[in-house]
Structure 1
Amino acid sequence: MKQKTHTLLFLCTLSLIYTFIISVHAEDNTAQTCGNTYLEPEIVSNFFDAHFGSHLEKLVGNNRLEIKSLHGLDDALDSLGNISPFDIEMGFSTANMYLWRGQKLGSDTSFQPFVSASPDFEPFGDLVFTFWTDITKDTPGKNDLEYDFVVEYTFHMLELLKIIGCDESNCCYPLKKLLDFNLSTGYIYYWFPPATDDSHEIYWKLAYNLPFNPSFLISHDIDAGDGVWYEAGISQDFDLKLFVLSTFATLGYNHRQWGKTSAFSIFQFGGSIPVSIGTHITVEPFLSYSKRLKRTSTDDETDLVHDELLGGFNFVIGF
């Protein structure tokens, strides 16, 4: 419990320090800034575009890695979206292995289909139901390795303030940005047929609408994998004109989840290139590297965590 408390304080302190540094740096340059925009996420991509955009445009011209429309399919999915009471996403991921929080749970090609449904819950946030599964070629017996059932609710703090009657315009800009975050809470049921050691996890995620999009996750397994996973991350998109490069980096701390020790477990970073196929389909190749930070930090008996290179692609249809 003491270790858990210290880690939570560390993540909260890191969040406040990040916001303070960005705020102080921005205030020093307010005189050169047009309007209150210096804490917006776009400031990073705008800086990149101002320094490299013209050079990239000369290289690629007006070309863009996309298919703008699939007339018949786009129209059909538009019609489905108009009559459906839910926003639907479905698709799959495939990769060279099944890697989860640094643990290699399948060493051969993985196939991970999913479907999610989100009812119209505005203005009270977002509610999403997801079914996800993993199928790997090297799983003994049946290929069905794992089924996950997920329920997640996200509320936007600034929208909540409006609902309860608070006028955000009365806040100074740095304070307003300190309140500009999304808070998600969710529940995951893990089912591993035909094994009987299913598990349950509840989690909370804080995502700030700031440069580099800092986020913090606390995920508590309350059953077979009893323990807590902490994660801090950043992400940023860069427009390379031919395509958008989405990048991320995360630092994971494992407190006895599916293991016996507590330590910083992995540092992971990578990128992906989302490519639009019409107005409803996205194909997204990705590549990431997971660096093990401590040998026994995740699974003391099977030693599932190693340095790993993960590559594959996502295919998503939304309507």
Structure 2
Amino acid sequence: MSDIKTTLTTAPKALPPSDQLGFGQYFTDHMFVAKYMEGKGWYDAQILPYGPLPLDPGASVFHYGQALFEGMKAFRQADGKIVFFRPEFNHDRMAQGAERMCLEAPPLDLFMQGLHELVKVDQRWIPHEPNTALYIRPTLIGTESFLGVRPSRETMFFILLSPVGSYYSEGTKPVKIWTEEKYLRAAPGGLGAVKAGANYASSLKAALEAKKKGYAQVLWLDVEHQGIEEVGTMNVFFVFKNEIVTPALNGSILNGGTRDAIIELLHSKNLPIVERKITITEVVERLQKGELLEAFGTGTAAVISPIGELHYQGKDWVINGGQTGELSTKLYNEITSIQRGQMPDTQGWITPLV
């Protein structure tokens, strides 16, 4: 598909103040939408003024939860150039998730063309200030109207844009994390490795309860409530004296883009990064022995978020004196400097807007 019809808004919005962006509170003037029908293929690719989507009340997304999304960012670099961070990774992950969700994934050329054209149209929304970006939300939903448990034969792919600042109210300061000992986010053979809307729906109750207690996020454990999986919207890393550990991808953990980038960086520095099963008991025991130096979460939204406190079994376990660790600081500075064009992109992560 090469032709994208563009209809520009007649009422452009005022830009929000860059120091009041928060996360996901504002949306740009336009969105990209394309449709798929079995036997017809992809069609009707358009850039439209941002607004409601016409969906039949019988659409499978409402009744059977056929929905998944990606999270990625575009940046305005120091020289004014606009770039994307690892967009091919997001397309690959969307395609893998679509196969699990029985949805039709957009081909790479449609994904990239829609992305580039939409950001070109709404590039005035990309903020200039440090710690800001244009968040991009590619989304895939089942749209066929029917009642009966089977995959939708129709799919809608759309992209939304949102100028953002820090994900957490704490900014880049260490956050307090609640270890969930009752609810489960995912189970082996389920949707944990897919960025499906259902995963986030199942996490809301625990996250709401944790926030009421003063914690920023939830650390999810496996079905035995021992093996560490991920933190609500982030993967997680533990820096011990002799190794850096992140839970191995086991089918119920999302393969995060920032997680993948951090592992690449650590390997490039010849640091002892290990992907393996790690339990909450091991973390607490090694913390008590003075072997846990720091911990941090990784994700597109926050990039790196240091963990200053971990609640488990009725006790708050303070990590690194509640301070940001040396390694997480270095990794955050390196990734954000590459994104901003302040450091060479030796990893091939940056894709310029064309």
Check whether TM > 0.5. no
Give the TM-score band, short-chain normalised. Answer: under 0.3
Which structure dedicates a bigger proportion of its chain to strand?
1
**What TM-score, normalized by structure 2, do the two folds share?**
0.21
